[in-house]
Structure 1
């Protein structure tokens, strides 16, 4: 398999737009997002420790048929990184709704990865009319998270680590948990880590990790059967962090769901298997 052409961080960031939103936390916050293409709107949500750049190889495959909106979650990427607000799943869900209101979107399809999937489950339960179809990729659910590495980074002492320490930690996470090695290009690794390799970004990632709370998904567990949306579960089966068994549990608990296993991918499905991810999204929608 030949690697897809990797967009640089600079190229990706140049296409982003920025908006100041209110009503999410106590003060107004900046949200950066990509908004390209035309057609039925689909929102893509990333996880930790990434940003919307995770979808750099997926967006071009969707934008010819869909209006593709890809925000940086609060505290992530080039959205607000100030050390003065909550970054929990419920706050991120509010951000998605406020961004939809800003863009005058009543309903969207939603595709989400990692903690973005936890946000997607919250939205499906709390704002069901806002979500059409739901795609979850190697998502957090039940008590599958936070993983040990994120618990470590979330300790306040990590704000005192050097930028080199943070770079080494992030690089290790990609190098060790990437099944499709040819897709882990130097350009992608530089782009996906860039927002966290300065002082404010480093501290922001520590706060993002500190906000991870398994109670936010265990509270959803008895309600999963209430989700009536059509749900596609796309799972990289070589993922040691969010194993495919979690996807199998979700397939049983979500009444209108189907599980598609991606056997050649580990955790980073949008970069490891972008062609299959985009194709499955198109088929499902």
Structure 2
């Protein structure tokens, strides 16, 4: 796939893994901020963004993890801080379990890396045979729907154009559909064992630095998922954004950049969410 990479140095390498239906464009503001201080690598998953879009390809969680692992070895990335959003969470944590000695920490944005039975009706409908292909590949409903619902603040015309650019026709939208079809909701799904393996690999990172950046208004990865991360990673610091949606980096860019600067510098931050007024995790 296509992999923009910028910056260099002895500081941690930031590896950005996007979800569906975005691409590395989602990380543009963070890369612009950190490219001078850190090596920044933003991977477009196969079928997404500027990567190839083969029509006959195993668009599965296991394959996406393998592609990310191959990239890490090809670029010889070490001291990696994984920055993951949406599908990037399962892909990234699956990757981390395979290369634990290369992982330094995590920045986690509205995502999951463990099985869940929760699925919004709108996404469930897109999994229906025939209808899903028509809606996602024919009408571009998944990308357009995301642009309408996933950012709390209105996206600029340039922002909308950027998200739409790689997905202009039926063939280009192959991965948008395959990602939706690959959501493992039970043991009968081909990616169920993979997500169980990803889940099993999480515990080894309980001592690793982790920053959770969470937008409240997310109809997919709601607060249930945030609390699951917090329970699994009690060492994690949380930045909870009341006025942000699923595209939390779009909605809370300045606050996230400030939080990441402190996190990467090793500074301890305040934990906040709607159930806690202000509690220092490190007290």
Structures share fold, TM-score greater than 0.5 = yes
| Residue of structure 1 equivalent to 2:60 | 88
| Residue of structure 1 equivalent to 2:217 | 238
- Measured on the aligned residues, the alpha-carbon RMSD in Å equals 2.3
Are positions 1:251 and 2:221 aligned together?
no
| Residue of structure 1 equivalent to 2:99 | 127
Q: Distance in 2 between matches of 1:162 and 1:107?
A: 38
| Aligned counterparts, 1:1-285, within 5 A | 31-39=1-9, 40=11, 41-142=13-114, 143=116, 147-157=120-130, 158-160=132-134, 165-166=139-140, 168-181=141-154, 184-214=155-185, 215=192, 216-221=194-199, 224-228=202-206, 229-285=208-264
The list of structure 1 runs, each at least 4 consecutive aligned residues, that deviate by more than 6 angstroms after superposition, is: none
Q: Distance in 2 between matches of 1:109 and 1:165?
A: 36
Give the Å deviation of 1:169.
Answer: 4.4
Structure 1's 144 and 284: CA in aligned 2 closer, same or farther, altered over 3 A?
farther
Look up the SS of the partner of 1:75 in the other structure.
coil
Residue deviations 1:147-202 (CA, integer Å, cap 9, x gap) = 44334334442334586721x54223222332122xx1111111102212212112
- 8 Å Cα contact 1:236-1:264 kept in structure 2: yes
Q: Distance in 2 between matches of 1:148 and 1:162?
A: 15
Q: Distance in 2 between matches of 1:244 and 1:261?
A: 10
- 8 Å Cα contact 1:159-1:202 kept in structure 2: no
Structure 1's 276 and 104: CA in aligned 2 closer, same or farther, altered over 3 A?
same
Look up the SS of the partner of 2:3 in the other structure.
strand
TM-score, length basis structure 1: 0.80
Give the Å deviation of 1:121.
Answer: 1.9
Look up the SS of the partner of 1:282 in the other structure.
helix
- 8 Å Cα contact 2:46-2:175 kept in structure 1: no
Q: Which has the higher contact order (CA 8 A, sep 6+)?
A: 1
Number of residue-to-residue matches in the alignment? 252
TM-score, length basis structure 2: 0.80
Q: Distance in 1 between matches of 2:257 and 2:127?
A: 32
User: Which structure 2 residue ranges, 5 or more long, are not aligned?
Assistant: 186-191, 265-283
Q: Distance in 2 between matches of 1:281 and 1:144?
A: 31
Look up the SS of the partner of 2:15 in the other structure.
strand
Q: Distance in 2 between matches of 1:254 and 1:169?
A: 31
Give the Å deviation of 1:221.
Answer: 4.1
